[in-house]
Structure 1
């Protein structure tokens, strides 16, 4: 469902770099946290186009062992999307979640915010 190579937006990348400088978590780990934070808060992608242009990595690097869970959550939340739109929905959730988590000062705060 999601492509083998994926990118995130410049806005998300900037937020995740800020998180990395605060916590030491890499951008790909931050993207996973951002996605789940966005899903948890109930954000819904409304079909707007998002520019996914920064930091191309393979799907496994972005999603790790959670690839099946991410794809299942996307299918559950958006059951009527075309296959190509799931990528945009994922990127939109990373964008949304990155804004939520970028200011976390350390990894201990990530655990206490869960």
Structure 2
């Protein structure tokens, strides 16, 4: 369902770089946490367009061993999307979660925030 090569938005990339500078968590690990934080917060993608043009990585690098779980959560939250739109939904959740997490200045403060 999600493509083998994926990118995130400029906004998410910048937020996750700030998080990396503050906590040492890499951008791909931050993106995983951002996605799950966004789902947990109850964020819902409005179907709008999103430019995913930063940091192309393969799906496994972005999602790790949680790829099936991410896809299942997306299908559960958005049961009527076309296959190509799940990628945009994932990207919008990374955007949302990254903004919440970017000001954390340590892993412990990040855990408390999530």
> TM-score normalised by the shorter chain: which range applies?
over 0.9
Secondary structure in 2 aligned to 1:63? helix
Distance 1:53 1:111 in 2: 28
CA distance in 1, matches of 2:67, 2:21: 25
Aligned match of 1:35? 35
Query: What's the offset of the Cα at 1:110?
Result: 2.3
5+ residue gaps, structure 1: none
After superposition, the CA RMSD in angstroms is: 0.7
Matches within 5 A, 1:1-114: 1-114=1-114
Divergent runs of 4+, >2 A:
110-114
Rounded to whole Å, the distance in 1 between the matches of 2:112 and 2:14 is 24
Kept in 1, the 8 Å contact 2:101–2:113? The answer is no
Q: C-alpha deviations, 1:76-103, integer Å up to 9, x for none?
A: 0000000000000000000011000000
Q: Distance in 2 between matches of 1:92 and 1:111?
A: 21
Secondary structure in 1 matching 2:44: coil
- Cα distance, 1:72 vs. partner? 0.4
TM-score by length of 1: 0.98
Within 1, Cα distance between the matches of 2:103 and 2:69?
26
Cα distance per residue 1:47-67 (max 9 Å; x no partner): 100000000000000000110
Give the CA deviation at 1:11: 0.3
